Structure 1
Amino acid sequence: MTDLLAAIPEAPEPDWAAAFRMPIVECGEPLEALGTSQGFLVWPAYHRLGVPNAPAECHARAGVFERLLRAARQLPDGLRLVVLDAWRPFAVQQHLYDTLYEILRQHEPDAAPEELTRRTREFVAPPSTRAEAPSPHLTGGAVDITLCDRDGRWLDMGSLFDEATPRSYTRHYEDASDDHGRAIRDRRRLLFNVMREAGFSNLSSEWWHYDYGDQLWAWHRGEQAALYGPAQVQPLEALWRQQLHSLPGSS
């Protein structure tokens, strides 16, 4: 049986070049709306925060949906998962990357571009729509999550969601010596262990970011290939055309 408060092991920062070289064997799982779930809560953070082009619903691959349910069932009574983001359009990924890079550049005007790029990549994956190397969230395999109590009040996880500081590193509180720090450490351990048990990998610089099936997951776990390439939420017009073309006699 999994120790849900086991220490979070040390993990390297992603080698993005190596991760993006992982082959993709697309399994064809559809994107599904997570907001229909009764097993966890959904709060589409970027839409609520007014980020341009951010969708009002969180979508993820079917396998991710099932594993989120599996992780949620392992939580102690009174705690629930909250999904903050999942499938992310390229425009949103580009906006987040460019915005953080510019903020860092303004904060540290003497920093070299390579250093600014490295710092930005700690908290926002490089934007990419390439079929062989898509951004993790573009695949529907990456999710951003947190914990809340039974009434929906978010727990203190030691940093804000998307906070671009060292406190966001998953292991930041592992050596905490005060009661408050140890409480945060245990919440992060709980989240990490239920998600790992469900098959996810974690991005070491973001306690909230977990992957299943994408190239980052494949790189972290030493898999032979990723399961998910780029995905797209189909607009109604595309669904109608697809349905009509599937009718007998359609060319």
Structure 2
Amino acid sequence: MKPYQLLSIQDCHESLVPIDQSIFFCLEPHPYLAIGAPYDTVSPFYLRQGVLNALYQAQQNLQSIQPTWKLAIFDAYRPVAVQDYMVNYTFQELLRGRGLTETMLSPSILAAIWAEVYTFWAVPSHDPKTPPPHSTGAAIDLTLVDSDKKLIDMGSPIDEISDRSFPEYFYHQAQRLDLTNQKDDYLKVHQHREILDQAMSQAGFQRHPQEWWHFSLGDQLWAWQIEQQTGQSMVAHYGRADLITSQKL
């Protein structure tokens, strides 16, 4: 269990609503649907109403910094079944990338690889008290695109299992370099990440401590981060979205 999962949830019962794809750029084909994730009839481009309202504000914030850029939605609502599928898919991809199979590894090595996965992926818990953030409809993975719908360089792809995914990675790497072109490149990437964070945080979102692309508002992780920052006791506003009365997706 991660620390944020200890916080209580008092769901406000907001409905899941569709993300307006005329305002935001939605990455399609959807990356998880493309590899067979079991969304069934549910769309990944949905959020709770209050979270979506804040996302509209974040888009306005972004355009006050970069008028021609848009938020690019990678993934939003994610049923627990999809979380389970993607956690296992990521584990198998790590093994394949290293030329390994489960049968050749000791339990301790397997546990270490699973620990890598869970550094970035939430446990696909079915317990209503510990929902994966995306299953609440209050978390979103996103990046930036320019006026030509070209992805802005963020230094690493979404979902990469490496230190490059940590929000401050390129800033810290740049500090270790003398004045070189590589240092300038690292600082530019860091600036792009900061632009995304500024647009989102000014709208009330909190960025995941280990993922430059993941933001949430109202879930347990969001509440826990505010507790850590302020010392104020917090309660999450959003639990698992499929446990509330919501409109048919």
Report the alpha carbon displacement of residue 91 of structure 1 after superposing the two structures with TM: 1.4
Q: Could you say which residue in structure 2 is the equivalent of 1:43?
A: 27
Q: Is 1:88 the counterpart of 2:78 in the alignment?
A: yes
Question: Equivalents in 1 of 2:131, 2:44: separation in Å?
Answer: 21
1:88 CA displacement? 0.3
Distance (Å, rounded) in 1 between the aligned partners of 2:35 and 2:18:
20
More helix by share: 2
The AA in structure 1 aligned to 2:47 is A
2:212 is equivalent to residue 207 of structure 1: yes
Match of 1:24 in 2: 9
Shift in Å at residue 216 of structure 1?
Answer: 0.8
Q: Which residue of 2 aligns with 1:179?
A: 184
What aligned pairs does 1:61-210 form with structure 2 within 5 A after superposition? 61-75=48-62, 76-105=66-95, 107=98, 109=105, 111-175=108-172, 176=174, 177=177, 178-210=183-215
Residue number in structure 2 paired with 1:3: none
Structure 2: 5+ residue runs without aligned partners?
178-182, 228-232
- Alignment counterpart, residue 242 of structure 2, candidates 203, 209, 232: 232
Alpha-carbon distance in 1 for matches of 2:127, 2:17: 22
Size of the aligned set, in residue pairs, is 222
| Structure 1 gap ranges (5+) | 1-15, 240-251
Q: Work out the CA distance in 2 between the residues paired with 1:61 and 1:143.
A: 11
Counterpart Cα distance in 1 of 2:116 and 2:71: 28
Distance 1:114 1:18 in 2: 20
Aligned residues: percent identity?
30
Q: CA deviation at 1:152?
A: 1.2
d(CA) in 2 for partners of 1:200 and 1:143?
Answer: 10
Counterpart CA distance in 2 for 1:100 and 1:173 is: 24
Moved more, 17-26 or 183-192: 17-26
CA root-mean-square deviation: 2.4
Query: Aligned-pair distance for 1:38?
Result: 3.3
Task: Give yes or no for contact 2:37–2:82 (8 Å, CA) kept in 1.
Answer: yes
Work out whether residues 47 and 56 of structure 1, in 8 Å CA contact, stay in contact via their aligned partners in 2. Answer: no
